[in-house]
Structure 1
Amino acid sequence: MASKYHVRSISLPSRSHPTTLRIEEEINRLKTAEAISQYSASESICAGLSGLEDLYQCMDDLLNMPSTQQVLSQNQHEKCIDQLLDGSVRLLDICGIARDYMFQIKEHVQALQSALRRRKGDSSIESSILHYYSFRKEMKKQAKKLITELKQFDNKVGASPLQNQDHHFSAVIRVLREVNVMNACIFQSLFSFLSAPVSSKQAKWSLVSKLMHKGVVSCEEKQEVVNELEKVDAALCKHTSDVDKIKIAHERLVALENSIQGLENRLEFVFRHLIKARTSLLNIISH
Protein backbone atom coordinates (compact mmCIF):
# COMPACT_ATOMS: atom_id res chain seq x y z
CA MET A 1 0.00 0.00 0.00
CA ALA A 2 1.22 3.46 -0.80
CA SER A 3 2.60 5.49 2.03
CA LYS A 4 0.33 8.43 1.28
CA TYR A 5 -3.35 8.82 0.64
CA HIS A 6 -3.88 10.18 -2.84
CA VAL A 7 -6.09 13.14 -2.06
CA ARG A 8 -6.07 16.23 -4.17
CA SER A 9 -4.55 19.35 -2.63
CA ILE A 10 -6.90 21.59 -0.72
CA SER A 11 -7.59 24.80 -2.60
CA LEU A 12 -7.50 27.09 0.39
CA PRO A 13 -7.52 30.87 0.22
CA SER A 14 -4.26 32.66 0.92
CA ARG A 15 -5.49 33.42 4.42
CA SER A 16 -7.50 30.66 6.06
CA HIS A 17 -10.27 31.53 8.47
CA PRO A 18 -9.16 30.97 12.10
CA THR A 19 -12.07 28.63 12.84
CA THR A 20 -11.02 26.16 10.15
CA LEU A 21 -7.26 26.11 10.70
CA ARG A 22 -7.31 23.12 13.05
CA ILE A 23 -9.24 20.97 10.57
CA GLU A 24 -6.93 22.01 7.74
CA GLU A 25 -3.94 20.99 9.86
CA GLU A 26 -5.49 17.59 10.65
CA ILE A 27 -6.27 16.96 6.98
CA ASN A 28 -2.73 17.81 5.91
CA ARG A 29 -1.31 15.66 8.72
CA LEU A 30 -3.32 12.70 7.46
CA LYS A 31 -2.25 13.29 3.87
CA THR A 32 1.44 13.48 4.66
CA ALA A 33 1.74 10.77 7.33
CA GLU A 34 4.89 9.03 6.10
CA ALA A 35 4.92 6.67 9.08
CA ILE A 36 1.97 4.77 7.60
CA SER A 37 4.25 3.12 5.05
CA GLN A 38 5.99 0.96 7.66
CA TYR A 39 2.81 -0.80 8.74
CA SER A 40 0.98 -3.80 7.31
CA ALA A 41 -2.06 -3.16 5.16
CA SER A 42 -4.60 -3.33 7.98
CA GLU A 43 -2.45 -1.28 10.35
CA SER A 44 -2.11 1.41 7.71
CA ILE A 45 -5.88 1.61 7.28
CA CYS A 46 -6.41 1.57 11.06
CA ALA A 47 -4.05 4.53 11.31
CA GLY A 48 -6.08 6.34 8.67
CA LEU A 49 -9.38 5.56 10.40
CA SER A 50 -7.92 6.74 13.70
CA GLY A 51 -6.91 9.96 11.98
CA LEU A 52 -10.49 10.31 10.76
CA GLU A 53 -11.69 10.13 14.35
CA ASP A 54 -9.42 13.05 15.25
CA LEU A 55 -10.61 14.91 12.18
CA TYR A 56 -14.27 14.46 13.09
CA GLN A 57 -13.58 15.61 16.63
CA CYS A 58 -12.19 18.84 15.17
CA MET A 59 -15.22 19.06 12.91
CA ASP A 60 -17.51 18.61 15.91
CA ASP A 61 -15.76 21.47 17.68
CA LEU A 62 -16.17 23.63 14.57
CA LEU A 63 -19.89 22.90 14.28
CA ASN A 64 -20.40 23.70 17.97
CA MET A 65 -18.97 27.19 17.59
CA PRO A 66 -21.70 29.88 17.74
CA SER A 67 -20.12 31.77 14.83
CA THR A 68 -20.17 28.64 12.65
CA GLN A 69 -23.75 27.83 13.58
CA GLN A 70 -24.82 31.37 12.77
CA VAL A 71 -23.20 31.49 9.34
CA LEU A 72 -24.54 28.04 8.36
CA SER A 73 -28.03 28.87 9.59
CA GLN A 74 -28.06 32.12 7.61
CA ASN A 75 -27.10 30.24 4.44
CA GLN A 76 -29.09 27.05 5.00
CA HIS A 77 -30.70 27.12 1.55
CA GLU A 78 -27.40 27.07 -0.31
CA LYS A 79 -27.01 24.11 -2.68
CA CYS A 80 -23.67 23.20 -1.12
CA ILE A 81 -25.41 22.43 2.20
CA ASP A 82 -27.67 19.88 0.49
CA GLN A 83 -24.64 18.35 -1.21
CA LEU A 84 -22.88 17.93 2.13
CA LEU A 85 -25.93 16.25 3.64
CA ASP A 86 -26.32 13.92 0.65
CA GLY A 87 -22.65 13.01 0.86
CA SER A 88 -22.88 12.26 4.57
CA VAL A 89 -25.75 9.83 3.97
CA ARG A 90 -23.79 7.86 1.39
CA LEU A 91 -20.66 7.79 3.55
CA LEU A 92 -22.77 6.38 6.37
CA ASP A 93 -24.12 3.69 4.04
CA ILE A 94 -20.64 2.76 2.85
CA CYS A 95 -19.28 2.68 6.39
CA GLY A 96 -22.13 0.35 7.32
CA ILE A 97 -21.28 -1.94 4.40
CA ALA A 98 -17.64 -2.05 5.52
CA ARG A 99 -18.69 -2.96 9.06
CA ASP A 100 -20.85 -5.79 7.72
CA TYR A 101 -17.88 -7.16 5.77
CA MET A 102 -15.73 -7.13 8.90
CA PHE A 103 -18.34 -9.24 10.68
CA GLN A 104 -18.62 -11.69 7.77
CA ILE A 105 -14.85 -12.11 7.48
CA LYS A 106 -14.64 -12.96 11.18
CA GLU A 107 -17.39 -15.55 10.76
CA HIS A 108 -15.52 -17.22 7.90
CA VAL A 109 -12.22 -17.12 9.77
CA GLN A 110 -13.80 -18.81 12.78
CA ALA A 111 -15.34 -21.48 10.54
CA LEU A 112 -11.94 -22.16 8.98
CA GLN A 113 -10.28 -22.39 12.38
CA SER A 114 -12.90 -24.88 13.49
CA ALA A 115 -12.45 -26.98 10.33
CA LEU A 116 -8.67 -27.08 10.74
CA ARG A 117 -9.00 -28.14 14.37
CA ARG A 118 -11.30 -31.04 13.47
CA ARG A 119 -8.88 -32.43 10.87
CA LYS A 120 -11.46 -34.82 9.43
CA GLY A 121 -9.66 -35.08 6.14
CA ASP A 122 -9.12 -32.93 3.10
CA SER A 123 -12.76 -33.07 1.98
CA SER A 124 -14.05 -31.44 5.18
CA ILE A 125 -11.43 -28.71 5.13
CA GLU A 126 -11.83 -28.29 1.38
CA SER A 127 -15.51 -27.43 1.80
CA SER A 128 -14.75 -24.66 4.31
CA ILE A 129 -11.95 -23.28 2.15
CA LEU A 130 -14.06 -23.21 -1.01
CA HIS A 131 -16.87 -21.50 0.89
CA TYR A 132 -14.39 -18.88 2.12
CA TYR A 133 -12.98 -18.27 -1.37
CA SER A 134 -16.48 -17.93 -2.78
CA PHE A 135 -17.18 -15.23 -0.20
CA ARG A 136 -13.85 -13.53 -0.96
CA LYS A 137 -14.64 -13.40 -4.68
CA GLU A 138 -18.04 -11.83 -4.09
CA MET A 139 -16.58 -9.35 -1.59
CA LYS A 140 -13.86 -8.42 -4.08
CA LYS A 141 -16.48 -7.78 -6.77
CA GLN A 142 -18.56 -5.51 -4.54
CA ALA A 143 -15.49 -3.76 -3.11
CA LYS A 144 -14.33 -2.79 -6.60
CA LYS A 145 -17.75 -1.28 -7.32
CA LEU A 146 -17.55 0.75 -4.14
CA ILE A 147 -14.03 1.93 -4.98
CA THR A 148 -15.34 3.24 -8.31
CA GLU A 149 -18.22 5.00 -6.56
CA LEU A 150 -15.89 6.55 -3.99
CA LYS A 151 -13.64 7.88 -6.74
CA GLN A 152 -16.66 9.47 -8.38
CA PHE A 153 -17.69 10.85 -4.99
CA ASP A 154 -14.27 12.47 -4.71
CA ASN A 155 -14.65 14.07 -8.14
CA LYS A 156 -18.13 15.39 -7.39
CA VAL A 157 -17.12 17.11 -4.17
CA GLY A 158 -16.37 20.71 -4.93
CA ALA A 159 -17.54 20.37 -8.53
CA SER A 160 -19.92 23.28 -8.02
CA PRO A 161 -18.06 26.50 -7.16
CA LEU A 162 -19.02 28.46 -4.07
CA GLN A 163 -20.88 31.60 -5.09
CA ASN A 164 -21.32 32.91 -1.57
CA GLN A 165 -18.97 35.82 -0.85
CA ASP A 166 -18.99 35.33 2.94
CA HIS A 167 -15.41 34.32 3.74
CA HIS A 168 -16.35 32.48 6.93
CA PHE A 169 -19.13 30.50 5.22
CA SER A 170 -16.90 29.60 2.28
CA ALA A 171 -14.10 28.48 4.60
CA VAL A 172 -16.45 26.25 6.63
CA ILE A 173 -17.99 24.62 3.55
CA ARG A 174 -14.56 24.09 2.03
CA VAL A 175 -13.19 22.17 5.01
CA LEU A 176 -16.40 20.17 5.45
CA ARG A 177 -16.08 19.10 1.83
CA GLU A 178 -12.46 18.14 2.37
CA VAL A 179 -13.38 16.05 5.42
CA ASN A 180 -15.75 14.08 3.18
CA VAL A 181 -13.03 13.70 0.55
CA MET A 182 -10.56 12.38 3.13
CA ASN A 183 -13.18 9.98 4.42
CA ALA A 184 -13.87 8.69 0.91
CA CYS A 185 -10.14 8.30 0.28
CA ILE A 186 -9.53 6.19 3.39
CA PHE A 187 -12.59 4.08 2.60
CA GLN A 188 -11.06 3.50 -0.84
CA SER A 189 -7.95 2.14 0.88
CA LEU A 190 -10.10 -0.13 3.02
CA PHE A 191 -11.98 -1.57 0.06
CA SER A 192 -8.72 -1.98 -1.86
CA PHE A 193 -7.56 -4.12 1.06
CA LEU A 194 -10.78 -6.16 0.88
CA SER A 195 -10.46 -6.61 -2.90
CA ALA A 196 -7.08 -8.34 -2.67
CA PRO A 197 -6.65 -10.89 -5.51
CA VAL A 198 -8.13 -14.35 -5.08
CA SER A 199 -6.00 -16.70 -7.18
CA SER A 200 -7.78 -19.12 -9.49
CA LYS A 201 -5.35 -21.74 -8.25
CA GLN A 202 -6.53 -21.14 -4.72
CA ALA A 203 -10.18 -21.38 -5.73
CA LYS A 204 -9.61 -24.79 -7.32
CA TRP A 205 -8.57 -26.51 -4.12
CA SER A 206 -8.92 -30.10 -5.30
CA LEU A 207 -6.55 -29.60 -8.22
CA VAL A 208 -4.04 -27.71 -6.11
CA SER A 209 -4.14 -30.33 -3.39
CA LYS A 210 -3.33 -33.09 -5.87
CA LEU A 211 -0.52 -31.14 -7.47
CA MET A 212 0.99 -30.28 -4.12
CA HIS A 213 0.98 -33.89 -2.96
CA LYS A 214 2.93 -34.68 -6.14
CA GLY A 215 5.32 -31.82 -5.47
CA VAL A 216 4.43 -30.15 -8.76
CA VAL A 217 3.44 -26.69 -7.56
CA SER A 218 3.96 -24.36 -4.65
CA CYS A 219 1.17 -21.88 -4.05
CA GLU A 220 3.53 -19.21 -2.82
CA GLU A 221 5.94 -19.60 -5.71
CA LYS A 222 6.76 -16.18 -7.12
CA GLN A 223 3.82 -14.76 -5.18
CA GLU A 224 4.24 -11.58 -3.20
CA VAL A 225 1.96 -11.51 -0.18
CA VAL A 226 0.58 -8.01 0.17
CA ASN A 227 -1.86 -8.11 3.06
CA GLU A 228 -3.31 -10.35 5.75
CA LEU A 229 -6.03 -11.72 3.47
CA GLU A 230 -3.46 -12.88 0.94
CA LYS A 231 -1.30 -14.38 3.69
CA VAL A 232 -4.26 -16.51 4.74
CA ASP A 233 -4.89 -17.47 1.11
CA ALA A 234 -1.30 -18.66 0.77
CA ALA A 235 -1.43 -20.63 4.02
CA LEU A 236 -4.71 -22.34 3.09
CA CYS A 237 -3.46 -23.05 -0.40
CA LYS A 238 -0.49 -25.04 0.86
CA HIS A 239 -2.43 -26.77 3.63
CA THR A 240 -1.72 -30.47 4.03
CA SER A 241 -1.98 -32.86 6.94
CA ASP A 242 1.45 -31.62 8.03
CA VAL A 243 1.18 -30.34 11.61
CA ASP A 244 3.57 -27.43 11.05
CA LYS A 245 1.65 -26.19 8.02
CA ILE A 246 -1.64 -26.44 9.88
CA LYS A 247 -0.05 -24.41 12.66
CA ILE A 248 1.00 -21.72 10.17
CA ALA A 249 -2.54 -21.59 8.78
CA HIS A 250 -3.92 -21.19 12.31
CA GLU A 251 -1.44 -18.42 13.10
CA ARG A 252 -2.33 -16.48 9.96
CA LEU A 253 -6.04 -16.88 10.61
CA VAL A 254 -5.56 -15.54 14.13
CA ALA A 255 -3.55 -12.60 12.75
CA LEU A 256 -6.28 -11.87 10.20
CA GLU A 257 -8.98 -12.08 12.86
CA ASN A 258 -7.09 -9.62 15.06
CA SER A 259 -6.56 -7.26 12.13
CA ILE A 260 -10.24 -7.36 11.19
CA GLN A 261 -11.24 -6.77 14.80
CA GLY A 262 -9.04 -3.68 14.87
CA LEU A 263 -10.62 -2.37 11.67
CA GLU A 264 -14.09 -3.13 12.98
CA ASN A 265 -13.42 -1.17 16.17
CA ARG A 266 -12.14 1.85 14.26
CA LEU A 267 -15.07 1.72 11.82
CA GLU A 268 -17.49 1.71 14.73
CA PHE A 269 -16.02 4.96 16.03
CA VAL A 270 -16.02 6.55 12.57
CA PHE A 271 -19.65 5.48 12.08
CA ARG A 272 -20.64 7.22 15.32
CA HIS A 273 -18.77 10.37 14.31
CA LEU A 274 -20.50 10.39 10.92
CA ILE A 275 -23.91 10.20 12.60
CA LYS A 276 -23.01 12.92 15.09
CA ALA A 277 -21.67 15.27 12.40
CA ARG A 278 -24.75 14.81 10.22
CA THR A 279 -27.09 15.34 13.18
CA SER A 280 -25.25 18.51 14.19
CA LEU A 281 -25.48 19.95 10.68
CA LEU A 282 -29.18 19.11 10.43
CA ASN A 283 -29.86 20.72 13.80
CA ILE A 284 -28.02 23.88 12.78
CA ILE A 285 -29.87 24.45 9.52
CA SER A 286 -33.27 23.57 11.00
CA HIS A 287 -33.17 26.55 13.36
Structure 2
Amino acid sequence: MVATASPKFKAPSHHVRSTSFPSTSHPLTLAVEERVCRLRASEALSSTCSSCSPSSSLHHNLTALHELCECVDNLLQLPITQQALSHEQHEKWVDEVLDGSLKLLDVCGTTRDVLSLTKESILDLESSLRRRRGGEAGLSTEFVAYAISRKKVNKLIQKCLGGLKKMEKRGFSALFEKDDHDLVAIVSILKEVEAITVTVFQSISSFISGPKAQAKPIGWSLVSKLVQTNKRITSSAASQGDKDEYCNEMGRLDGALGALNCQTQKSSSSSFKGIDAAELQNAQNQLEAVEMSIHGLEDGLECLFRRLIKIRVSPPQHP
Protein backbone atom coordinates (compact mmCIF):
# COMPACT_ATOMS: atom_id res chain seq x y z
CA MET A 1 0.00 0.00 0.00
CA VAL A 2 1.35 3.41 -0.94
CA ALA A 3 1.07 6.03 1.80
CA THR A 4 1.26 9.11 -0.40
CA ALA A 5 0.32 9.86 -3.97
CA SER A 6 3.23 9.65 -6.40
CA PRO A 7 3.98 12.28 -9.07
CA LYS A 8 1.82 12.31 -12.16
CA PHE A 9 2.82 9.36 -14.31
CA LYS A 10 3.84 10.22 -17.87
CA ALA A 11 4.13 7.56 -20.53
CA PRO A 12 6.68 8.05 -23.36
CA SER A 13 5.32 9.27 -26.68
CA HIS A 14 5.97 5.94 -28.40
CA HIS A 15 3.74 4.13 -25.92
CA VAL A 16 -0.03 4.24 -25.64
CA ARG A 17 -1.86 7.55 -25.93
CA SER A 18 -2.93 7.65 -22.30
CA THR A 19 -0.50 9.73 -20.22
CA SER A 20 -1.86 9.13 -16.74
CA PHE A 21 -3.66 6.51 -14.71
CA PRO A 22 -7.35 6.92 -13.81
CA SER A 23 -7.97 8.61 -10.46
CA THR A 24 -9.92 5.53 -9.33
CA SER A 25 -6.96 3.20 -9.85
CA HIS A 26 -6.40 0.32 -7.48
CA PRO A 27 -3.64 0.95 -4.85
CA LEU A 28 -1.50 -1.66 -6.61
CA THR A 29 -1.57 0.49 -9.73
CA LEU A 30 -0.25 3.42 -7.73
CA ALA A 31 2.39 1.17 -6.18
CA VAL A 32 3.59 0.10 -9.63
CA GLU A 33 3.59 3.71 -10.80
CA GLU A 34 5.70 4.79 -7.85
CA ARG A 35 8.21 1.97 -8.34
CA VAL A 36 8.59 2.76 -12.04
CA CYS A 37 9.28 6.42 -11.25
CA ARG A 38 11.84 5.46 -8.59
CA LEU A 39 13.61 3.03 -10.90
CA ARG A 40 13.76 5.56 -13.73
CA ALA A 41 15.28 8.10 -11.34
CA SER A 42 17.81 5.53 -10.12
CA GLU A 43 18.79 4.61 -13.69
CA ALA A 44 19.24 8.28 -14.57
CA LEU A 45 21.41 8.83 -11.48
CA SER A 46 23.52 5.76 -12.23
CA SER A 47 24.33 7.02 -15.72
CA THR A 48 25.45 10.47 -14.53
CA CYS A 49 26.99 9.88 -11.08
CA SER A 50 30.76 9.41 -11.42
CA SER A 51 31.17 8.51 -7.74
CA CYS A 52 28.65 5.64 -7.86
CA SER A 53 29.88 2.08 -8.25
CA PRO A 54 28.34 0.83 -11.53
CA SER A 55 27.97 -2.75 -10.31
CA SER A 56 26.38 -1.65 -7.01
CA SER A 57 23.93 0.56 -8.90
CA LEU A 58 23.07 -2.28 -11.27
CA HIS A 59 22.49 -4.69 -8.40
CA HIS A 60 20.27 -2.13 -6.66
CA ASN A 61 18.27 -1.54 -9.84
CA LEU A 62 17.89 -5.28 -10.47
CA THR A 63 16.48 -5.69 -6.98
CA ALA A 64 14.12 -2.76 -7.54
CA LEU A 65 13.06 -4.22 -10.90
CA HIS A 66 12.28 -7.57 -9.28
CA GLU A 67 10.11 -5.82 -6.67
CA LEU A 68 8.37 -3.89 -9.45
CA CYS A 69 7.65 -7.08 -11.40
CA GLU A 70 6.35 -8.73 -8.24
CA CYS A 71 3.93 -5.84 -7.81
CA VAL A 72 2.86 -6.12 -11.47
CA ASP A 73 2.26 -9.85 -11.01
CA ASN A 74 -0.02 -9.11 -8.05
CA LEU A 75 -1.88 -6.53 -10.13
CA LEU A 76 -2.39 -8.98 -12.98
CA GLN A 77 -3.91 -11.51 -10.58
CA LEU A 78 -6.67 -9.10 -9.52
CA PRO A 79 -10.16 -10.12 -10.71
CA ILE A 80 -10.72 -6.69 -12.29
CA THR A 81 -7.51 -7.09 -14.29
CA GLN A 82 -8.34 -10.61 -15.38
CA GLN A 83 -11.79 -9.42 -16.42
CA ALA A 84 -10.37 -6.56 -18.49
CA LEU A 85 -7.97 -8.92 -20.25
CA SER A 86 -10.42 -11.76 -20.84
CA HIS A 87 -12.71 -9.96 -23.30
CA GLU A 88 -12.57 -11.52 -26.73
CA GLN A 89 -11.97 -8.16 -28.44
CA HIS A 90 -8.74 -7.81 -26.44
CA GLU A 91 -7.29 -11.11 -27.66
CA LYS A 92 -4.84 -9.46 -30.07
CA TRP A 93 -3.61 -7.09 -27.39
CA VAL A 94 -3.08 -9.94 -24.90
CA ASP A 95 -1.09 -11.81 -27.57
CA GLU A 96 1.16 -8.78 -28.00
CA VAL A 97 1.71 -8.57 -24.24
CA LEU A 98 2.70 -12.24 -24.20
CA ASP A 99 5.03 -11.67 -27.15
CA GLY A 100 6.73 -8.83 -25.29
CA SER A 101 7.17 -10.93 -22.17
CA LEU A 102 8.70 -13.72 -24.26
CA LYS A 103 11.23 -11.29 -25.75
CA LEU A 104 12.16 -10.08 -22.26
CA LEU A 105 12.71 -13.66 -21.14
CA ASP A 106 14.92 -14.28 -24.17
CA VAL A 107 17.01 -11.18 -23.46
CA CYS A 108 17.25 -12.11 -19.78
CA GLY A 109 18.50 -15.57 -20.77
CA THR A 110 21.11 -14.10 -23.12
CA THR A 111 22.27 -11.70 -20.40
CA ARG A 112 22.68 -14.62 -18.00
CA ASP A 113 24.80 -16.42 -20.62
CA VAL A 114 26.95 -13.31 -21.01
CA LEU A 115 27.57 -13.13 -17.27
CA SER A 116 28.33 -16.85 -17.07
CA LEU A 117 30.88 -16.74 -19.90
CA THR A 118 32.53 -13.64 -18.47
CA LYS A 119 32.81 -15.17 -15.00
CA GLU A 120 34.23 -18.39 -16.41
CA SER A 121 37.01 -16.58 -18.27
CA ILE A 122 37.79 -14.47 -15.19
CA LEU A 123 38.03 -17.53 -12.93
CA ASP A 124 40.39 -19.23 -15.41
CA LEU A 125 42.63 -16.17 -15.55
CA GLU A 126 42.56 -15.78 -11.76
CA SER A 127 43.74 -19.36 -11.39
CA SER A 128 46.56 -18.84 -13.90
CA LEU A 129 47.78 -15.68 -12.19
CA ARG A 130 47.84 -17.41 -8.81
CA ARG A 131 49.74 -20.44 -10.04
CA ARG A 132 51.86 -18.69 -12.69
CA ARG A 133 51.92 -21.89 -14.73
CA GLY A 134 54.49 -21.76 -17.55
CA GLY A 135 55.97 -18.52 -16.29
CA GLU A 136 55.51 -15.33 -18.29
CA ALA A 137 55.14 -17.27 -21.56
CA GLY A 138 52.29 -19.29 -20.05
CA LEU A 139 50.54 -16.11 -18.93
CA SER A 140 50.72 -14.71 -22.45
CA THR A 141 48.77 -17.75 -23.65
CA GLU A 142 46.18 -17.21 -20.91
CA PHE A 143 45.81 -13.54 -21.90
CA VAL A 144 45.11 -14.60 -25.49
CA ALA A 145 42.46 -17.06 -24.28
CA TYR A 146 40.86 -14.32 -22.17
CA ALA A 147 40.85 -11.92 -25.13
CA ILE A 148 39.13 -14.53 -27.32
CA SER A 149 36.51 -15.08 -24.64
CA ARG A 150 35.90 -11.33 -24.33
CA LYS A 151 35.41 -11.11 -28.08
CA LYS A 152 32.84 -13.91 -27.94
CA VAL A 153 31.06 -12.20 -25.06
CA ASN A 154 30.97 -8.88 -26.91
CA LYS A 155 29.31 -10.56 -29.89
CA LEU A 156 26.61 -11.89 -27.60
CA ILE A 157 26.21 -8.46 -26.05
CA GLN A 158 25.81 -6.78 -29.44
CA LYS A 159 23.10 -9.33 -30.26
CA CYS A 160 21.42 -8.59 -26.94
CA LEU A 161 21.62 -4.82 -27.44
CA GLY A 162 20.15 -5.21 -30.93
CA GLY A 163 17.17 -7.08 -29.53
CA LEU A 164 16.69 -4.47 -26.83
CA LYS A 165 16.81 -1.69 -29.42
CA LYS A 166 13.99 -3.36 -31.34
CA MET A 167 11.96 -3.64 -28.15
CA GLU A 168 12.49 0.07 -27.48
CA LYS A 169 10.82 0.89 -30.79
CA ARG A 170 8.05 -1.68 -30.38
CA GLY A 171 4.52 -0.34 -30.13
CA PHE A 172 1.13 -1.96 -29.69
CA SER A 173 -0.83 -2.41 -32.91
CA ALA A 174 -3.96 -3.56 -31.08
CA LEU A 175 -6.60 -0.90 -30.46
CA PHE A 176 -9.04 -0.52 -27.59
CA GLU A 177 -11.90 1.75 -26.63
CA LYS A 178 -10.85 5.13 -25.23
CA ASP A 179 -13.37 4.89 -22.41
CA ASP A 180 -12.08 1.49 -21.26
CA HIS A 181 -10.19 3.04 -18.35
CA ASP A 182 -9.21 -0.25 -16.72
CA LEU A 183 -7.58 -1.52 -19.90
CA VAL A 184 -5.88 1.84 -20.55
CA ALA A 185 -4.33 1.65 -17.08
CA ILE A 186 -3.13 -1.92 -17.59
CA VAL A 187 -1.64 -1.07 -21.00
CA SER A 188 0.18 1.92 -19.52
CA ILE A 189 1.57 -0.14 -16.66
CA LEU A 190 2.84 -3.04 -18.74
CA LYS A 191 4.38 -0.83 -21.42
CA GLU A 192 6.22 1.21 -18.81
CA VAL A 193 7.44 -1.91 -17.01
CA GLU A 194 8.65 -3.33 -20.31
CA ALA A 195 10.46 -0.07 -21.12
CA ILE A 196 12.28 0.19 -17.78
CA THR A 197 13.19 -3.51 -17.95
CA VAL A 198 14.80 -2.90 -21.34
CA THR A 199 16.75 0.02 -19.87
CA VAL A 200 18.11 -2.08 -16.99
CA PHE A 201 19.19 -4.86 -19.37
CA GLN A 202 20.91 -2.28 -21.58
CA SER A 203 22.84 -1.01 -18.56
CA ILE A 204 23.99 -4.52 -17.63
CA SER A 205 25.13 -5.24 -21.19
CA SER A 206 27.04 -1.97 -21.38
CA PHE A 207 28.67 -2.66 -18.01
CA ILE A 208 29.99 -6.07 -19.10
CA SER A 209 31.22 -4.70 -22.43
CA GLY A 210 33.21 -2.01 -20.69
CA PRO A 211 33.32 1.77 -21.25
CA LYS A 212 32.39 3.08 -24.69
CA ALA A 213 31.55 -0.46 -25.80
CA GLN A 214 28.50 0.52 -27.81
CA ALA A 215 30.57 2.82 -29.99
CA LYS A 216 33.50 0.37 -30.31
CA PRO A 217 33.68 -3.00 -28.55
CA ILE A 218 36.73 -3.38 -26.34
CA GLY A 219 39.13 -5.91 -27.81
CA TRP A 220 42.57 -6.84 -26.62
CA SER A 221 44.23 -4.75 -29.33
CA LEU A 222 42.45 -1.68 -27.96
CA VAL A 223 43.62 -2.44 -24.43
CA SER A 224 47.22 -2.85 -25.60
CA LYS A 225 47.01 0.39 -27.56
CA LEU A 226 45.78 2.26 -24.50
CA VAL A 227 48.72 1.01 -22.46
CA GLN A 228 51.33 1.55 -25.19
CA THR A 229 50.26 5.12 -25.87
CA ASN A 230 50.25 6.02 -22.20
CA LYS A 231 53.00 4.03 -20.51
CA ARG A 232 52.80 6.15 -17.40
CA ILE A 233 49.35 4.80 -16.46
CA THR A 234 49.90 3.32 -13.01
CA SER A 235 48.00 0.76 -11.02
CA SER A 236 46.64 3.44 -8.69
CA ALA A 237 45.39 5.54 -11.57
CA ALA A 238 43.57 2.57 -13.02
CA SER A 239 42.01 1.62 -9.69
CA GLN A 240 40.83 5.17 -8.98
CA GLY A 241 39.24 5.60 -12.41
CA ASP A 242 41.18 8.77 -13.31
CA LYS A 243 40.78 8.04 -17.01
CA ASP A 244 37.51 7.67 -18.91
CA GLU A 245 38.65 4.24 -20.09
CA TYR A 246 38.66 3.05 -16.48
CA CYS A 247 35.32 4.44 -15.31
CA ASN A 248 33.83 1.07 -14.32
CA GLU A 249 35.05 -2.25 -12.96
CA MET A 250 35.38 -3.88 -16.38
CA GLY A 251 37.32 -0.90 -17.71
CA ARG A 252 39.71 -0.99 -14.75
CA LEU A 253 40.19 -4.72 -15.26
CA ASP A 254 40.99 -4.25 -18.95
CA GLY A 255 43.53 -1.58 -18.04
CA ALA A 256 45.21 -3.72 -15.37
CA LEU A 257 45.39 -6.78 -17.61
CA GLY A 258 46.61 -4.71 -20.54
CA ALA A 259 49.52 -3.39 -18.46
CA LEU A 260 50.36 -6.90 -17.25
CA ASN A 261 50.12 -8.33 -20.76
CA CYS A 262 52.62 -5.77 -22.04
CA GLN A 263 55.09 -6.94 -19.40
CA THR A 264 54.73 -10.62 -20.33
CA GLN A 265 55.34 -9.77 -23.99
CA LYS A 266 58.77 -8.45 -22.99
CA SER A 267 59.75 -11.68 -21.22
CA SER A 268 62.03 -12.75 -24.09
CA SER A 269 64.12 -9.59 -23.74
CA SER A 270 67.51 -9.94 -22.02
CA SER A 271 66.72 -6.87 -19.94
CA PHE A 272 63.45 -8.32 -18.60
CA LYS A 273 63.55 -8.53 -14.80
CA GLY A 274 60.20 -10.21 -14.22
CA ILE A 275 56.62 -9.09 -13.77
CA ASP A 276 56.13 -6.15 -11.45
CA ALA A 277 54.57 -7.46 -8.22
CA ALA A 278 52.35 -4.38 -7.83
CA GLU A 279 50.97 -4.76 -11.36
CA LEU A 280 50.28 -8.44 -10.74
CA GLN A 281 48.50 -7.72 -7.46
CA ASN A 282 46.43 -4.98 -9.07
CA ALA A 283 45.30 -7.33 -11.83
CA GLN A 284 44.34 -9.98 -9.27
CA ASN A 285 42.41 -7.40 -7.24
CA GLN A 286 40.50 -6.21 -10.32
CA LEU A 287 39.67 -9.78 -11.34
CA GLU A 288 38.32 -10.51 -7.87
CA ALA A 289 36.26 -7.31 -7.84
CA VAL A 290 34.65 -8.11 -11.19
CA GLU A 291 33.99 -11.71 -10.14
CA MET A 292 32.11 -10.50 -7.05
CA SER A 293 30.15 -7.98 -9.11
CA ILE A 294 29.10 -10.62 -11.63
CA HIS A 295 28.09 -13.02 -8.86
CA GLY A 296 25.72 -10.41 -7.44
CA LEU A 297 24.25 -9.66 -10.87
CA GLU A 298 23.74 -13.37 -11.56
CA ASP A 299 21.73 -13.76 -8.35
CA GLY A 300 19.60 -10.74 -9.24
CA LEU A 301 18.96 -11.97 -12.78
CA GLU A 302 17.98 -15.43 -11.57
CA CYS A 303 15.28 -13.97 -9.30
CA LEU A 304 14.09 -11.65 -12.07
CA PHE A 305 13.97 -14.50 -14.59
CA ARG A 306 11.67 -16.52 -12.35
CA ARG A 307 9.42 -13.52 -11.79
CA LEU A 308 9.19 -12.79 -15.54
CA ILE A 309 8.11 -16.38 -16.13
CA LYS A 310 5.36 -15.99 -13.55
CA ILE A 311 4.18 -12.72 -15.11
CA ARG A 312 4.09 -14.35 -18.54
CA VAL A 313 1.51 -16.91 -17.42
CA SER A 314 -0.63 -14.31 -15.61
CA PRO A 315 -2.65 -12.92 -18.58
CA PRO A 316 -5.63 -15.13 -19.47
CA GLN A 317 -5.04 -17.50 -22.37
CA HIS A 318 -7.65 -17.19 -25.11
CA PRO A 319 -8.77 -20.40 -26.80
Shorter-chain TM band: 0.7 to 0.9
- 2:269 maps to none
Aligned partner of 1:22: which letter? A
Any residues of structure 2 matched to 1:1-287 within 5 Å, and which?
8=12, 11-13=18-20, 15-19=22-26, 20-33=29-42, 36=46, 37=49, 38-75=51-88, 77-119=90-132, 120-158=134-172, 162-163=176-177, 165-196=179-210, 197=213, 198-201=218-221, 217-218=231-232, 223-224=243-244, 225-239=246-260, 240=263, 241-281=275-315, 284-286=316-318
Deviation at 1:163, TM superposition (A): 4.0
Distance 1:252 1:55 in 2: 32
C-alpha distance after superposition, 1:120-143 (max 9, x if no partner) = 322211111111112212322331
**Which is further off, 97-106 or 216-225?**
216-225
C-alpha distance after superposition, 1:52-80 (max 9, x if no partner) = 11111110110121111121112574322
The TM-score normalised by the length of structure 2 is: 0.76
* Percent identical residues: 35
C-alpha distance after superposition, 1:75-115 (max 9, x if no partner) = 57432211110011111011011111111111111111111
Aligned partner of 1:237: which letter? G
- 1:4 maps to none
Unaligned segments of structure 2, at least 5 residues: 1-10, 264-274
Distance 2:195 2:12 in 1: 9
Distance 1:185 1:125 in 2: 37
Cα pair 1:45 1:263 within 8 Å, conserved: yes
**Which is further off, 245-254 or 164-173?**
164-173
Deviation at 1:286, TM superposition (A): 4.5
**Which is further off, 239-248 or 193-202?**
193-202
Q: Decide whether aligned partners of structure 1 residues 14 and 274 sit closer, same or farther in structure 2, where only a CA change above 3 A counts.
A: closer
Q: Decide whether aligned partners of structure 1 residues 16 and 178 sit closer, same or farther in structure 2, where only a CA change above 3 A counts.
A: farther
Deviation at 1:268, TM superposition (A): 0.4
**Which is further off, 152-161 or 43-52?**
152-161
C-alpha distance after superposition, 1:147-174 (max 9, x if no partner) = 2321221221346554463111121122
Unaligned segments of structure 1, at least 5 residues: 1-6
The TM-score normalised by the length of structure 1 is: 0.84
Cα pair 2:112 2:301 within 8 Å, conserved: yes
